[in-house]
Every structure is written in C-alpha cells, then in structure tokens.
C-alpha cells in the first residue's frame, strides 16, 4: 500500500498536526475525538464537520473545536479544507446503520460518494499530509469458511454483498487509489471491531438491551469488541502521529455470544436460521434494533481479528479486554439483568439447603 511510503516533504514522524478536520462529529466517536484534539494545546485548529450539529453536551465538550455544518458530498468541502489549510483529515463519519442515516440509499451515498468527494478535495489540497480512515473489520465478512483470526493481509472469503461492509470495502479501495496519487500523504486505515461501552450507541449496545435476545439457533458467534475509550485513543494516536498502514483495532480476547448474553444477565432465544431474516426485519421495522443483514451474519458466525500489528507497529495495546469492555458496558448502562448474579447465588443457596433438608 502506498501509505507505507513517506516523503521528505512531510514533517518527521511524531510531529503534531496543526489543523485537523474531523468528519462525523455529531456521532460519539467523531465528536469525542474532536474534543480530545481540541484539548491538545499543540494543535492550532480543530474543525468538526457534519450535516447535523452535535448534541449540546457533545458540542460543549468539544470546546474550542469549530463546528462546520457541511455535507462532505458537496464540493464545498474542498473550500473548507483549502481555506483552513487542513493538514490532517480524520474521516470518522462512516455510518453502519441505515435507519439513522435515512435509509440504505442515503447511507450509501453518504458513505461512498461522501468519501469520494472528501478524497477528491484532499487530493487537490497541497496542505493535506495525513488522512486517517475509520473503517471496520466487517470488510472481512463473516462466514463459516473464515479462518479463526483475520490479519490485515487477508481478504474476505465472499466479498460483502451489500451494506456497511461493502461501503467500507469500496471506501478502502478509493483510499488506496488516493494514496497512489498522493504518495506524500500518510494514509492510515483503522479497521475497528464492534464498539461497546457505557456511552456509545451502536447496533450491539441496543441489541444487548433487549429483554430477551434473539440469537441464531445452533450457532454461537465469537464476538470481539473494543471499548469506546480505546477506540478514541487509537483515533487520537493516528491523528497526532505518523503511523501509515492498515491496522486491525480490537480488544484482546473473545466472548461467545451466548456468554455475553449471560454476562448481561439476559435470556437468549434461539431463532432457526430460516426465520432469522424475518425476525430481523420485524425488529428493524419496529425500530427496536437496526439490524442489517451483515450484522446478522456477524451474530451468526462471528469474527475475530489479529491485532499483532496494532500492538507492534502502531504501538497501542487496548486497555480493556473484550470481557472487561463488555462488563463496563453492562455496568455503565445499568442493564437490568433477568438472571443476575444475586439471583443465581440465592438459587444456589436454596438448592443446597433444600438438598440438606431432604437428606
């Protein structure tokens, strides 16, 4: 990948950027990344771009970061980049949920066309030295023919047929093209696994809040998560240091889906594979959980990635393991367990005393 090249024109590795542009600041990751960067006195300006303004508390946290209400699909974004002589672009606006972005067509347009427009603007702007993309491990797909762990060099067994994963795969392709055309720009692609945590809102955080949790009968997906704070720290590190390349970003360890559901104190209900599609559609229609087909495949077969490059080359070790991150989410959201630890303990005591009585 072209990103492995560095050029004399760029500043030496490790230098801080002076003007950063962050897309998708109305969402948790983009907004909080802008807030973190704004808190860094070495950075002169932080521009946050989104089509909708961030919620008020997020906007307050963003401090001196400037919010620019702009659509990255509009060529106007080129004016923003060149006008402020942006040197670092963090593209964190990839949406995975068609529901919240106004349908699948709008989501695809925002993801793919938006990225193309943004990259076109970056290519024209000589000030840009670094581009960071928030991608996803969904680009590896999810199938029973997968190896247990994906590393960065692997390609999916079946190309993602649609949805978020396909968008991300296409966007990565455009970014590779951009890297070839602008070899002086350092390009970092971060493939994040599913986020979890007390504050972030994702499909998974909604899923585990259901009172009874539908799973695919006869399958137990291996789930690898990433704590939201680790995700932010990785984005911040990528924005402030020169670390070109593709990196899988995920926490250590895995949970089985059934195990995660038990840790949340919820009850799983197995749905036969044939009925999974209709059940997902019903839940989506009722606006309970915004399941996309590739997320249902993920909950069917799971996915685990190898994070050796993240630790060795990128120099970051996640602070939370998958289980710790999940437990933090369960505590932080104060999920009401159906089968809590206390209830289990009292049931255990009850059985023991009953047995002693009968003996």
Partner 1 sequence: MPEARVIPLHADENGSRTRWKLGAGSGARRNRSSGPPAEPITHPSAVREPEPESAPDPAAWEVGLEQLLTFARRRLSGDYTVDEFGYDRDLADSVLLPAVRPLYRKWFRVETIGMHNVPDAGGALIVANHSGTLPLDALMTTVALHDDHPRHRQLRLLGADLMFKLPIVGELARKNGATLACMPDAERLMDSGELVGVYPEGFKGIGKPFRDRYKLQRFGRGGFVSAALRTGVPIIPCSIVGAEETYPKIGDIAPLARLIGAPYFPVTPLFPLLGPLGAIPLPSKWYIEFGEPIRTDQHDPADADDPMLVFNLTDQVRETIQHTLYRLLSQRRNVFLG
Minimum separation from the CB atom of position 317 to partner 1 (A): 16
Nearer to partner 1, 76 or 267 (CB): 267
259 contacts partner 1 (rule: CB under 8 A)? yes
Buried b (16+ CB within 10 A) or exposed e, 238-251: bbbbbbbbbbbbbb
151 contacts partner 1 (rule: CB under 8 A)? yes
158 contacts partner 1 (rule: CB under 8 A)? no
Minimum separation from the CB atom of position 27 to partner 1 (A): 29
CB 163 within 8 A of CB 293: yes
The count of residues in the chain is: 359
* SS3 category, 311: helix
277 contacts partner 1 (rule: CB under 8 A)? no
Stretch that binds partner 1, among 83-91, 145-153, 181-189, 282-290 (CB under 8 A): 145-153
Stretch that binds partner 1, among 2-10, 26-34, 110-118, 338-346 (CB under 8 A): 338-346
352 contacts partner 1 (rule: CB under 8 A)? yes
Nearer to partner 1, 177 or 265 (CB): 265
Nearer to partner 1, 73 or 333 (CB): 333
Beta strands in 34-160 (DSSP E): 45-50, 66-69, 88-91, 130-136
Nearer to partner 1, 12 or 218 (CB): 218
308 contacts partner 1 (rule: CB under 8 A)? no
Stretch that binds partner 1, among 39-47, 64-72, 141-149, 173-181 (CB under 8 A): 141-149
Binders of partner 1 among 211-240, rule CB under 8 A? 216-220, 222
* Residue 44 neighbours by CB under 8 Å, 6+ apart: 18, 19
What DSSP designation does 310 have? I
Buried b (16+ CB within 10 A) or exposed e, 330-344: beebebebeeeeeee
Cα–Cα nearest to 254, from 289, 226, 282, 290: 226
Full 3-state SS string of 314-341: HCCCCCCCHHHHHHHHHHHCCCCCCCCH
Instruction: Find the distance separating the first CA and the last CA of the chain, reported in whole Å.
Output: 71
CA dihedral 15, 226, 298, 243 (to 10 degrees): 10
* Residue 64 neighbours by CB under 8 Å, 6+ apart: 38, 46
Q: What is the C-alpha to C-alpha distance for residues 29 and 290, in angstroms, rounded to an integer? A: 19
With CB under 8 A, what is the number of residues at the site for partner 1?
Answer: 40
Nearer to partner 1, 100 or 143 (CB): 143
90 contacts partner 1 (rule: CB under 8 A)? no
344 contacts partner 1 (rule: CB under 8 A)? yes
Q: What is the C-alpha to C-alpha distance for residues 109 and 149, in angstroms, rounded to an integer? A: 31
Minimum separation from the CB atom of position 336 to partner 1 (A): 15
- Residue of 286, 334, 355, 358 interacting with partner 1 (CB under 8 A): 355
16 contacts partner 1 (rule: CB under 8 A)? no
Q: Is the dihedral of CA 56, 61, 63, 66 positive or negative?
A: negative
Stretch that binds partner 1, among 70-78, 180-188, 251-259, 276-284 (CB under 8 A): 251-259
What DSSP designation does 211 have? S
68 contacts partner 1 (rule: CB under 8 A)? no
268 contacts partner 1 (rule: CB under 8 A)? no
Nearer to partner 1, 6 or 259 (CB): 259
Binders of partner 1 among 121-140, rule CB under 8 A? none
What DSSP designation does 259 have? H
Stretch that binds partner 1, among 51-59, 87-95, 229-237, 301-309 (CB under 8 A): 301-309
Contact residues: partner 1, CB under 8 A = 144-149, 151, 154, 216-220, 222, 253-256, 258-263, 265, 273, 301-302, 304, 323, 339, 341, 344-345, 348, 351-352, 355-356, 359
């Amino acid at each position: 990948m072209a990103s492995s090249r560095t050029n004399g024109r760029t500043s030496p590795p490790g230098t801080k950027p002076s003007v950063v542009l962050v897309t998708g600041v109305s969402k948790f990751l983009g907004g909080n990344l802008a807030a973190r960067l704004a808190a860094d006195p070495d950075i002169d300006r932080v521009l946050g771009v989104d089509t909708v303004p961030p919620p008020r508390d997020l906007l307050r946290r963003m401090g001196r970061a400037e919010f620019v209400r702009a659509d990255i699909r509009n060529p106007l974004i080129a004016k923003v980049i060149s006008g402020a002589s942006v040197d670092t672009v963090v593209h964190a606006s990839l949406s995975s949920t068609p529901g919240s972005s106004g349908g699948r067509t709008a989501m695809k347009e925002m993801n793919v066309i938006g990225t193309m427009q943004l990259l076109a603007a970056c290519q024209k702007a000589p000030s840009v030295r670094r581009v960071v993309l928030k991608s996803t491990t969904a680009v590896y797909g999810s199938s029973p023919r997968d190896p247990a762990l994906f590393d960065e060099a692997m390609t999916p067994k079946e190309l993602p047929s649609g949805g978020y994963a396909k968008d991300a795969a296409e966007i990565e392709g455009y970014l590779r093209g951009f890297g070839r055309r602008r070899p002086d720009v350092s390009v970092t692609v971060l493939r994040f696994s599913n986020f979890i945590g007390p504050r972030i809102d994702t499909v998974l955080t909604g899923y585990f809040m259901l009172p009874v949790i539908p799973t695919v009968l006869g399958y137990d997906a291996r789930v690898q998560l990433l704590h939201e704070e680790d995700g932010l720290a990785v984005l911040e590190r990528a924005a402030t240091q020169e670390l070109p390349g593709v990196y899988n970003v995920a926490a250590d360890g895995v949970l089985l889906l059934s195990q995660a559901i038990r840790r949340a104190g919820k009850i799983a209900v197995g749905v036969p594979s044939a009925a999974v599609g209709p059940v997902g559609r019903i839940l989506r229609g009722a606006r309970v959980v915004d399941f996309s087909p590739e997320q249902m495949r993920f909950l069917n077969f799971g996915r685990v990635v190898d994070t050796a490059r993240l630790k060795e080359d990128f120099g970051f070790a996640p602070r939370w393991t998958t289980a710790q991150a999940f437990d933090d989410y369960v505590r932080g959201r104060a999920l009401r367990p159906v089968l809590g630890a206390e209830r289990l303990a009292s049931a255990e005591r009850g059985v023991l005393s009953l047995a002693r009585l009968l003996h």
